[in-house]
């Protein structure tokens, strides 16, 4: 294995770990919000918060899997095109999921929007943590 291939493999492992940590953090916040809404408001608000949190979490998982879990090495232009297409698909998914939620399900608007924004905030905070020197620890389950 060449040095470049080994280095790329290490970078890919770290990127995958970051995607998984962000997804797990979003899911944990979703569950926490769901529990708080259930206790403080009602089942409908909790359900709405869970639904919105899962939309955000699934969108993050999709985008992360398209960026970092693809084993195929491609040219930079093809990779950039893939990133743009993945972002477009993510946006369409979120819009369709929002429309379906509001049109087909009886959701609590404030709980839904609040939970979605909270999970998106988790994503954005995870993106800026390294800029402030915050290290995200990885648990090695293999060793």
62, 81, 126 from 76: Cα distances, Å: 20, 9, 25
Tell me how crowded residue 20 is: count the other CB atoms within 10 A of its CB: 15
Q: At what angle do helices 109-128 and 43-68 cross, to 10 degrees?
A: 30
Distance CA 37, CA 34 (A): 5
Sequence-distant (6+) residues with CB within 8 A of 34 are 46, 47, 49, 50, 53, 115
What is residue 128's predicted lDDT score, i.e. its pLDDT? Answer: 77
pLDDT tens track for 62-104 = 988 887 766 556 666 777 788 888 899 999 999 999 999 999 9
Domain limits of the chain? Answer: 3-132
Residue 36 pLDDT greater than 90, yes or no? yes
């Amino acid at each position: 294995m060449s040095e470049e291939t080994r280095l790329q493999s290490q970078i890919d492992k770290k990127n995958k770990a970051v995607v998984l940590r962000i997804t797990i953090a979003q899911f944990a916040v979703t569950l926490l919000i769901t529990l708080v809404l259930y206790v403080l408001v009602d089942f409908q608000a909790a359900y709405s918060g869970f639904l919105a949190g899962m939309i955000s979490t699934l969108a993050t998982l999709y985008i992360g899997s398209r960026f970092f879990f693809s084993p195929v090495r491609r040219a930079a232009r093809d990779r950039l095109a893939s990133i743009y297409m993945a972002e477009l698909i993510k946006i369409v998914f979120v819009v369709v999921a929002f429309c379906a939620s509001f049109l087909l399900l009886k959701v609590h608007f404030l709980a839904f929007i609040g939970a979605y924004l909270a999970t998106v905030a988790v994503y954005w905070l995870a993106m800026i943590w390294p800029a402030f020197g915050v290290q995200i620890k990885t648990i090695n389950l293999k060793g």
